[in-house]
């Protein structure tokens, strides 16, 4: 009798401790995507709708889509899974590209070399030890667009980091801080306050006097645009 009671208690305790599970339907249409559950690699998503059984409770679901060997897109959601029903989860990828784990390790090695030349200071400036330039790197100029005349006036009137001799950088100076190893913010890692948009240079297009060169820090592309257009500005000065 005692053995029977012990077995019944053991079965009851075991069944009680067994985790309840709920069904999750992952909706994803595309290729080269992997689902991560709570930071752990789960499955490759090959179907438009992928069923998944998860323990009841809170979970973090993340889908990573491979673009190439260097970058990928991420989509992440926090969900609560119930054993009483089925949960539909649809993913939307962030616009910003992220480096893959392997490429991030390579970037770290390259960054250590770049940061030997470019030093960020506590005054929101970046010093180029090779060319002897000091770059502005605070929030304000990346929040306001100006035409080229406005950009020149802003830098000429700027009093920043105890200096008042700022100016709009030349096209050639801007090229020295472009980082083609990066996406969406193609600028050397010492800079922290950059929009992936176009910034004015002071260099005029020699074939069109009404145009000047701009640098797009999204992918580091360069082009010319009419001086009356409004773009961002980042000032520079000689140390």
Q: What is the mean pLDDT of residues 64-77?
A: 88
Given 99, 117, 145, which residue is the final one in a domain? 99
Residue numbers of the domain that contains 231: 102-238
- Binned at pLDDT 50, 70 and 90, residue 6 comes out as very low
Do 130 and 59 fall within a single domain? Answer: no
Number of compact structural domains in the chain = 2
Instruction: Evaluate whether 92 touches 75 at the Cβ level (below 8 Å).
Output: yes
Do 213 and 224 fall within a single domain? Answer: yes
pLDDT digits (tens, 9 = 90+) for 13-58: 444 445 689 999 998 877 778 999 999 888 888 888 889 899 999 9
pLDDT of amino acid 237: 97
pLDDT of amino acid 17: 46
pTM (whole model) above 0.75: no
Q: Which CATH number do you get for residue 62?
A: 2.60.40
Whether residue 106 is predicted with pLDDT greater than 90 in this model: the reply is: no
Given 31, 64, 99, which residue is the final one in a domain? 99
Q: What is the mean pLDDT of residues 153-181?
A: 95
CA distances from 74 to 62, 94, 202, 220 (A): 7, 6, 37, 22
Do 93 and 171 fall within a single domain? Answer: no
Whether residue 4 is predicted with pLDDT greater than 70 in this model: the reply is: no
| Environment class of 1 (CB within 10 Å of its CB; exposed 0-12, middle 13-18, buried 19+) | exposed
- Binned at pLDDT 50, 70 and 90, residue 69 comes out as confident
pLDDT of amino acid 19: 66
pLDDT of amino acid 110: 84
Higher pLDDT, 105 or 226: 226
pLDDT digits (tens, 9 = 90+) for 206-218: 999 999 999 999 9
């Amino acid at each position: 009798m005692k053995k029977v009671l012990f077995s019944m208690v053991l079965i009851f305790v075991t069944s009680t401790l067994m985790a309840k599970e709920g069904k999750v339907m992952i909706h994803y249409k595309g290729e080269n995507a992997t689902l991560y559950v709570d930071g752990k690699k789960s499955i490759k998503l090959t179907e438009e709708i992928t069923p998944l059984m998860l323990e009841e409770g809170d979970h973090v679901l993340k889908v990573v889509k491979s673009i190439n060997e260097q970058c990928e897109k991420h989509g992440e959601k926090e969900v609560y899974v119930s054993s009483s029903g089925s949960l539909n989860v649809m993913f939307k990828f962030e616009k910003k590209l992220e480096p893959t784990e392997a490429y991030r390790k390579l970037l770290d090695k390259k960054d250590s070399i770049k940061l030997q030349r470019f030093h960020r200071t506590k005054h929101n400036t970046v010093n180029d030890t090779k060319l002897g330039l000091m770059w502005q790197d605070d929030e304000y100029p990346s929040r306001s667009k100006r035409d080229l005349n406005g950009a020149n006036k802003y830098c000429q009137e700027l009093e920043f980091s105890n200096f008042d001799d700022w100016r709009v950088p030349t096209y050639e100076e801007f090229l020295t801080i472009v980082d083609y190893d990066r996406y969406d913010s193609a600028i050397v890692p010492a800079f922290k306050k950059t929009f992936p948009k176009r910034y004015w240079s002071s260099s005029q297009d020699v074939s069109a006097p009404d145009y000047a060169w701009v640098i797009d820090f999204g992918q580091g592309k360069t082009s010319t645009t009419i001086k009356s257009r409004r773009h961002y500005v980042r000032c520079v000065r000689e140390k």
